[in-house]
Amino acid sequence: MFIHPRHDKEMRPHQIEVFKFLCNNLAADEPCGCILAHAPGSGKPFLLISFMQSFMAIDPQDKPLIILPKRS
């Protein structure tokens, strides 16, 4: 899977590593899921949006599901 060109130049090295992790766990032939818990300020929303946009560019018919904890 590729990083969408819109986000490619904006990603930091640690985000590229997490993007690869997401690809290996969510976009593999046999996806197993994953939990993304990273340091505050690491750009998780940007990373998830980048992953979703890249994923949807490959197969726009897929319907990804993101589950987030309720804010306390």
Per-residue confidence at 63, pLDDT binned at 50, 70, 90?
A: confident
Radius of gyration of the chain (CA): 12
Q: What pLDDT sits at residue 5?
A: 81
Of the candidates 72, 14, 70, 24, which has an alpha carbon nearest to the alpha carbon of residue 46?
A: 14
Phi, psi torsion values for 62, nearest 5 degrees: -65, 150
Question: Quick check: pTM over 0.75?
Answer: no
pLDDT tens column, 11-60? 888 888 888 888 888 877 887 878 777 677 778 888 888 888 888 888 88
- How far apart (Å, rounded) are the C-alpha atoms in residues 21 and 1? 11
